[in-house]
Structure formats: C-alpha cells, structure tokens
Chains A and B, each alone.
Chain A
Amino acid sequence: MTRLRPVALGLAALLLACLLWEVVKVAVPDAGVHVGGASILPRTDAMAMPHVWEVVQRTLQPETSAVGAPSVLTSMLQSCWFTLRVAAVGWALGVVSGFALAVLMQRWRVAEESLEPWLVLSQTVPLVALAPLVVGWGGRIHLGGLEWQKWMSVALIASYLAFFPVAVGALRGLQSPPAAQVDLFRAQAAGWGRTLVRLRIPASVPHLLPALRLGAATAVVGAIVAEVSTGTKGGIGRLIISYAQSASGDPAKPWAAIAAAALLGLAAAGLVGLVGLGLGRFRHSEVS
C-alpha cells in the first residue's frame, strides 16, 4: 500500500498536468495575451497547443506517409530505449566518479576545500559548448581495437551532469555520522577504511538515494542535450529535432516527442528509486 503511494501520486500529477494544459487552452484566447506589444501568455490555437488526446492519437499513427513507416509510438520507444541505455552508462560513470570524489573529499580536508569550487564551476559550463570538445577528443582516442563511438561521447557528457548531485549527496552522507559514533570507531582502533565501510557508507544511504535519483534524471537530460549537440542518431534527442521540423503542419508530433523525453527522465529516476526498496534498514533516521 505505502509502496504504491508514490506511483499513484505520480500518475495523479501527470493527470493534473494534462488537465492544466486543457484548462489553459480553454481559458486563454487563441492569439495569446498581449499587453502593449509584449506577449504575456503564448498562443493557444491548435497549431501551438494541440489537445492532449490529439497528441496521444498522433503517436499511434505512422511517422511519415512513406509506405511501411513505423508508428510515432514505435519510433519513440526505440529512441527512448537507445537514450536510456546511453544515459545508464553515463549515470554509472557519474555515480562511480562522483562517489570516488566524495570519498576523496571526506578523507582529506584539503581535497574538499580545493575541489569544491571546481565542482560548482563544472556545472556552470554549458553542455553545448562542451559537446564538440568531447567529440573532438574522442575522435583521437584509439585503444587497440576500440573505436570511439559517438554514443560514448554522449554517455560521457551525461556522466558529467550526473556526477555532481552524487558527489554532493555522497559527501554529505559520508560526513553525517555524529562525533560519538566516529569516536567509538576510533576507540575500537578501527582505521579509516573500516570506518568507511562499517560506518560512513551505511550512514550515507539516506543522503545517497535522492542523489542517485537526481543523478538519473540529470543523466537523461545530459544525454538528450548531448545527442542534439553532437548530432548522434538513434536517440530521443535527435527525434525531437527531426519532429520539430514538422511543427507547422503536424503540431502534435513534436509535442509527443517532448512528452516522451520528459517521461523518460521520470522513468529513469523511478527505476533508480527501486534501489532504495531493499535498503529500508539504512533509512532509519538517527536515534536519540
């Protein structure tokens, strides 16, 4: 019962979003709202905001008029699957490197103080600027038989977004044990490694789980942006761009792709959320 609650709430939120969309369509005039020359609310005609059911309907129809073209839904599912796999690789990379950074920063105060500004700085660099660089570097990598693929660049960029929440969350978690517990481990002559495994890592779980979920969502966003800016084919990012070209004649199509991308982020965060189900005992709040 309690486990189904977040799922039910999520569905309710989704329904609410659809409802809000339709309410805006009814309430706001087709031409939008303008004060003076400035546009306050956007246009709501059938071209700018198709009905929710039109978007849903469109997904079931063929992608193009060409013979044998797959439905929009099939096409979206395929590209979401592609993006999800690339994002998963990026997420895993991000989790490993973020956690390693957190351990480093917990171990040495100097590392924490010197790395922290760089962590923040790393997230202010626009991905779009970074993407061509990564592709460029990747092109020069030849490791034996390994040929650098474009999707690897995408995964790397996704990991660049995903590591940040993990590093911050993990560091806070690793630092969360109260002084009495740390002293207790020292009194038992437990070294740093044992204290890390028996105390700091278990204690970090309540901080780590939300960070992993957030990391999953950012990995998907990173993968989509990276697909677009590196011109990688096969993913939902590319699909959004190609569907956007038919916006003027077929407005429901790009909206379907945008909705699919958003749902993909939710699904990724939800999947990672499943990790927490087996870790209930680590989520008790600190006692006394």
Chain B
Amino acid sequence: MSTPATAIDARGVGKVFASRTGTVTALEDVDLTVAAGEFVSLIGPSGCGKSTLLRLVADLDEPTSGELLVFGKAPRAAREAGDYGIAFQQAGLLPWRTVQANVELPLELHGVGRRARALRAADLLALVGLAEFADAFPHQLSGGMQQRVAIARALAEQPSLLLMDEPFGALDEMTRERMQTELVRISASSGAAVLFVTHSIPEAVFLSDRVVVMSPRPGRISGIVDVDLPGTADRSDGLREDAAFFAAVTAVREVLHGAPAPVAARGVDVR
C-alpha cells in the first residue's frame, strides 16, 4: 500500500461543544500538517484542546468547522480503513483476556485468522519486550507493562499513523523515561507517523520531530517548534543531557509561557 506523503492535514479546524450552559469552543482555527513518518507532539495546559484535536483525527468526535483529512481521506474513512492505531492514558486492556489476546483484539475484530494473529502478536510482544508474559492476565502486570501491551495493540495492524493521548501520563518518572526511549525505537522501526499528546515538555522534545504548542480558551496553536536533534531513530538516553536537548526544551517553554508574536494577545495563558 502506498501511503500519501501527508498523514494529517488540518485546515481551519474548529470544534464547539454545546452544553446546557451554552457553548464551549474547544478548538479554533487549527492549521496543522503532519508528514508521513513524522513524530509530532501536541503540548499545552489543560483545556487547550490537544486531546480534542487527537479525537477529531481519530474520528471519535467530529469537527464543527474546517477541513480535516487523514491520508487524504475523511477521518471516518481512515478509521474504517484501519489507518491508525490508538493508545490512551489508561491502557484499557480487557481484564478477561490474556496479554496475547489483548494484542490480538484489533486483528480479531477485523477477521484475521488465528494463526496469523498469534504470529503477529508474538512479534509485537517481542518488540515491546513482553514475550514471556503472553499468557499473563493484565492484573498481573505493572502499569508500565500494561501500557506497553496497549502500545503493542495499537501497532497490531501496522498502521501508518499512531495516535497517542498521554500514554505515559499515569507512569512514574523512571518508567516513563524508559518507555519514551522504547517508543522512539518502536516508532522508528515501524515507520509510522505519530501524533502524541503530552503535558511534559522534555517528553515532547525527546520524542518529536516537531512540537506543536497549544493555548487554551479557545484552544488554538500558539506556535510550532522544530526540534533540531538527531533523527528520532538515533535518539537515546544520553540525549537528555545534551545542550541541544536543553535548547529545544527552552524553546518550547518560551512559546508555552512567553508571549511571542500575535496570537499571544488573544490566547496564550501566561502563567
């Protein structure tokens, strides 16, 4: 399957939620392009619409304005074609299924045969380093291991796009850094584009080719920082102490807290 060069193409995308007390503008006028194979993080304070944007791409919600294309298709078509894999902050594993059966779930839902499923699951579990836990049940795993299973599940159908909504948000700092290093390796080897939502600046910088900084009320993009570091495939823990890494962290922080350029007057939450 030849994939178009653009994974996500958003033009003037907005999302307004209607509630009992009136309307809430979650997203306004978002323009964003994510190239195939590119790792892009969305960062910003709570309520800046970063999760909403991810949910629009996943077709879990529908935009109220603008145009959004995923691999040149409407998000609904992309979802139905299985173009993306998704992981949330909660691993969301099914407690009655073994680790292997959890990884196989997307394949099973799409009618892949038993043998092919088992082979693919074995590959994926090896990739996330959980081969010997195939027959374990989720409650026997730690939070970090559960999250790795969830990532393996997201990769099950070799998607060209990974959508990740704070997947490491519930993990402790040490597990988190180890998972980031693994994710960099996994995403590079799968060649998939990644849209990654996070609260953490170092996490966003360490993982991404580009960091999209968002601001709340209404949610909009206040700046995009190009991370000028080695290609994501070559990143390792040592990078965390590199001067270039700190420079990128500072650049993101400035866009996040500082007041560069015109959008600031309207939206940036200065704290």
Contact = CB atoms under 8 A, between A and B. Distances in A.
Residue of A178, A183, A186, A282 with most partner-chain B CB within 10 A: A183
A184 interface: yes
A187 B60 contact: yes
Interface in B92-113: 92-96, 105-106, 108-110
A194 interface: yes
A286 B91 CA distance: 11
A188 interface: yes
A180 B90 contact: yes
B95 A187 contact: no
A288 interface: yes
Given A183-B88, A188-B82, A202 B96 contact: yes
Contact of A188 (B89, B94, B110, B138): B110
A184 B96 contact: no
A288 B91 contact: yes
Given A202-B94, A202-B96, A287-B138, A190 B109 contact: yes
Given A187-B58, A187-B79, A284-B96, 20 more contacts: A178-B92, A181-B92, A183-B58, A183-B88, A186-B60, A186-B79, A187-B86, A188-B109, A188-B110, A189-B82, A203-B94, A203-B96, A282-B96, A284-B137, A284-B139, A287-B95, A287-B141, A288-B93, A288-B146, A288-B170
Interface string B114-139: 00000000000000000000000111
Given A184-B86, A187-B84, A281 B96 contact: yes
Contacts of A186: 60, 79
Contacts of A203: 94, 96
B72 interface: no
24 contacts: A180-B92, A181-B92, A183-B58, A183-B88, A185-B109, A187-B58, A187-B59, A187-B84, A187-B86, A189-B80, A189-B110, A199-B94, A203-B96, A205-B96, A284-B96, A284-B137, A284-B139, A286-B95, A287-B138, A287-B141, A288-B90, A288-B138, A288-B146, A288-B170
Nearest to B95: A284
Interface in A189-211: 189-190, 194, 198-199, 202-203, 205
A259 B59 CA distance: 60
A241 to B, nearest CB: 47
B143 interface: yes
Which applies to chain B's interface (DSSP): helix, strand, loop or mixed? loop
Interface residues of A, number: 24
Contacts of A286: 95
A285 B95 contact: yes
Given A188-B110, A190-B109, A287 B139 contact: yes
A288 B88 CA distance: 12
A188 B90 contact: no
Contacts of B139: 284-285, 287
Interface string B45-68: 000000000000011100000000
B63 to A, nearest CB: 17
